[in-house]
Amino acid sequence: MLDGSAPPPDNPPVSWLYKRFVRPNFFQRDPEETHNLVISQLAWAARRRWALGLAGCFLRGPRLPIELFGLTFPNPLGLAAGMDKGGSAIPAWAALGLGFSELGGVTRHGQPGNPQPRMFRVVEDEALINRMGFNNPGANTMAERLGDCRDSGAWPSHPVGVNLGKSKVTPLADAPADYLYSFRLLKNLADFFVVNVSSPNTPNLRQLQDKSALAEILGALQEVNDSHRPILVKVAPDLGFGALDQILELVEPHNLAGLVATNTTIARPAQTGIYAETGGLSGRPLAKRSTEVIRHLYQQSGGRVPLIGVGGIFDANDAWEKITAGASLLQIYSGLVYEGPQITRIILKGLTKRLAREGFTELSQAVGTEQ
Ligand SMILES: Cc1cc2nc3c(=O)[nH]c(=O)nc-3n(C[C@H](O)[C@H](O)[C@H](O)COP(=O)(O)O)c2cc1C
């Protein structure tokens, strides 16, 4: 080792290397610049089978398969929306050991997003604040990239979803047509879809979480959903339990496959310093509220609505909390930034051990068991 010290025995080498050498370098740069750098490196690797194979050797964890809404997931830990907004590195996420990926958010019209800077780290709290504003190349480009990936035989070995947002230029009243355009174009190119009405960074978007507005969007999508793709809705952690219950009431009539809980929060643990930046907060400070939302949705629906739990997952204990509160699948974003690419393997190993210790033979047996 360069400084003569060895990585601690319970801290696998790649994770130690990441925190000791890579992360300090990344964290000296602007967060968005680092993000773009990583995505371009992953896009490079995604075009080279040997690079993907090599990554897989170091980063793939134990298999922990789970079947949900007609899809088979090799493990329950997926990539959260916002990391690969343009579908630039589609084959890379499975090579990092993730059990599924959610690309996007993508909107009907390509758009630049909000002025920079718009992404901030709160390193001491392992959190991020972002007000990206759905910067993405648009649904047409996403369709091309998904199509190219399939045609070139590089399609990943895990389910791929697309997160659908509303274009900024589209008035709220025309939102159904905006979502519909993207869905029509992409519906045969991805395995599942998430309707994102919970980003805090598009003006008034979260009003679409209102029951009647959301019903209109979902009705429009399901009408053309002839290939029966699973459609989920992503909710904000800032909704009260009453508003969440209203969304639950849409699940059956609109044939929703499940809910994703949660998006980033506009709440803050403090109002000063970096926390005064507007936008959505993710990472550790979000963990507790996102688990509360999952627990409420699980209990209120009697465990009948599949939930994807996301918000502040950094280790196997965080993952276990969300699973036993009611999540069948999980996603990470901030955890990848702070823990590095080996986070998946570490969490999956921890989950496998925990399942055995609790006497479960399958992950699905642990879902919602804290009650
Ligand atoms: C920079 C950034 C961009 C994001 N973009 C999206 C997005 O486009 N669509 C979406 O539904 N969620 C988006 N999210 C939210 C994440 O998918 C996730 O719900 C949130 O970050 C909580 O997970 P975490 O604590 O593991 O980061 C974004 C998050 C970050 C940090």
- pLDDT tens for residues 111-160? 999 999 999 999 999 999 999 999 999 999 999 999 999 999 999 999 99
Atom of ligand 1 nearest to the CA of 198: 11
Q: Please report, for residues 123, 178, 338, the alpha-carbon distance to residue 15 in angstroms, rounded to integers and kept in the order given.
A: 17, 41, 10
Query: What per-residue confidence (pLDDT) applies to 4?
Result: 37
The Cα angle at residue 261 between residues 86 and 101, in degrees rounded to 5? 35
Q: Does domain 13-366 have CATH number 3.20.20.70?
A: yes
How large is the average pLDDT for residues 90-110?
98
The ligand 1 atom at the shortest distance from the C-alpha of residue 80 is 17
CA end-to-end distance (rounded Å), the chain: 46
Tens-digit pLDDT profile for residues 316-343: 999 999 999 999 999 999 999 999 999 9
Hey, where are the domains in the chain? 13-366
Q: Which of 36, 282, 293, 338 to mutate to test the pocket of ligand 1 (most atoms within 8 A of CB)?
A: 282
User: What per-residue confidence (pLDDT) applies to 265?
Assistant: 98
Q: How far is the CA of 38 from the centre of ligand 1 (A)?
A: 16
Residues 167-180: tens digit of each pLDDT = 999 999 999 999 99
Distance 314 CA to ligand 1 centre (A): 14
Structure letter (DSSP) for residue 27: H
Of the residues 101, 167, 182, 199, only one is catalytic, namely: 199
| Residue 238, pLDDT above cutoff 70 | yes
Name 263's Cβ contacts closer than 8 Å, sequence gap at least 6: 196, 198, 199, 200, 234, 235, 236, 237, 280
Interval between CA 336 and ligand 1 midpoint (Å):
12
pLDDT at residue 5 in the model? 44
The ligand 1 atom at the shortest distance from the C-alpha of residue 310 is 23
- Helix (H/G/I), strand (E/B), else coil: 330: strand
Neighbours of 224 (CB within 10 A): 11
| pLDDT at residue 7 tops 70 | no
Please report, for residues 67, 230, 274, 305, the alpha-carbon distance to residue 362 in angstroms, rounded to integers and kept in the order given. Answer: 11, 23, 42, 19
With bands split at pLDDT 50, 70 and 90, how would you rate the model's confidence at 269?
Answer: very high
